[in-house]
């Protein structure tokens, strides 16, 4: 699907036409520079490779450094291919695409890396209710998971059993987020609701 790369600026609130206060997330989308085009004749599929952000050249490996030097371009932080651009023939290498790709009221899918929470127990990670009150001498089992399997059969812990572990820092997508407002001059879009990731984290917006 056609889309853009961007970063999460933060959250605020806006009034809609009915006077209701909406929680919105501000996203900076682009400007995304076109670094290459894939065609069916040459590559077997059609796509556009977009770049976003700024990265110092001394932090690049040799392959990426040569890639940007050949294009005579400043290094970018992220490179990503997007397919199904309807106006692929009109797009040229070096051209920049911004927030004007989207329209107000349009629903988009946003992908990002969720905030990492570290190692967490079952109550925070999976929403367990706890074992119960401190009855019958129980003193240190309030936040414990309880039994994790049977004794005689199958005599093992089944795969997928919900237990304590690392929480967050996962690739997460949210579908159907509505664009409430667009500021094309500053490449900002305002999306209703929350978006995965921390402030200044890289996100991907698809139509």
What distance in Å separates the CA atoms of residue 115 and residue 159, rounded to the nearest whole number?
25
- What is the reported pLDDT for 195? 95
- What is the reported pLDDT for 1? 58
Peptide bond into 15 cis (omega under 30): no
Residues with Cβ within 8 Å of 119's Cβ and at least 6 positions away in sequence, in order, are 164, 165, 166, 167
Torsion of CA 80, 206, 87, 98, to 10 degrees: -80
SS (H, E, C) the chain: CCEEEEEEEEEEEEECCCCCEEEEEEEEECCEEEEEEECHHHHCCCEEEEEECCCCHHHCCHHHHHHHHHCCCCCCCEEEEEECCCCHHHCCCCCEECHHHCCCCCEEEEEEECCCCEEECHHHHHCCCCCCCCCCCCCCCCCCCCCCCCCCCCCCCCCCCCCCEEECCCEEEEEEEEEEEEECCCCEEEEECCCCCCCCCEEEEEC
- What is the reported pLDDT for 87? 74
| pTM for the model | 0.82
What distance in Å separates the CA atoms of residue 180 and residue 192, rounded to the nearest whole number?
6
Per-residue pLDDT of the chain (207 residues; tens, 9 = 90+): 588 999 999 999 999 888 999 999 999 997 898 888 888 888 888 888 899 988 888 888 888 888 888 888 888 888 888 887 777 777 888 888 888 889 999 999 999 999 999 999 999 999 998 877 666 777 788 888 988 999 899 999 999 999 999 999 999 999 999 999 999 889 999 999 999 999 999 999 998
Closest CA to 170 of 195, 204, 196: 196
For 99, other C-beta atoms within 10 Å of its C-beta total 23
- Assigned CATH topology for domain 3-129+163-206: Elongation Factor Tu (Ef-tu); domain 3 (2.40.30)
What distance in Å separates the CA atoms of residue 190 and residue 36, rounded to the nearest whole number?
29
Distance of CA 114 to CAs 49, 51, 78, Å?
24, 21, 17
- What is the reported pLDDT for 134? 66
| Phi, psi of 125, rounded to the nearest 5 degrees | -75, -40
């Amino acid at each position: 699907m056609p889309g853009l790369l961007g970063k999460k600026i933060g959250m605020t609130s806006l009034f809609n036409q009915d006077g209701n206060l909406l929680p919105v997330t501000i996203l900076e989308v682009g400007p995304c520079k076109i670094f290459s085009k894939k065609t069916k004749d040459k590559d077997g599929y059609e796509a556009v490779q977009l770049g976003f952000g700024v990265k110092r050249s001394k932090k690049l490996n040799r392959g990426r450094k040569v890639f940007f030097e050949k294009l005579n371009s400043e290094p970018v932080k992220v490179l990503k291919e997007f397919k199904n651009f309807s106006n692929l023939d009109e797009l040229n290498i070096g051209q920049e695409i911004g927030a004007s790709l989207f329209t107000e009221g349009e629903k988009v899918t946003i992908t990002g890396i969720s905030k990492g929470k570290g190692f967490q127990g079952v109550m925070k990670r999976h929403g367990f209710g706890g074992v119960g009150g401190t009855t019958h001498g129980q003193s240190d089992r309030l936040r414990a998971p309880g039994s994790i399997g049977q004794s005689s059969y199958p005599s093992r812990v089944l795969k997928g059993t919900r237990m304590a572990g690392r929480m967050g820092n996962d690739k997460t997508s949210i579908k159907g987020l509505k664009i409430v407002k667009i500021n094309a001059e500053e490449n900002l879009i305002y999306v209703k609701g929350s978006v995965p990731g921390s402030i200044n984290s890289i996100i991907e917006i698809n139509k």
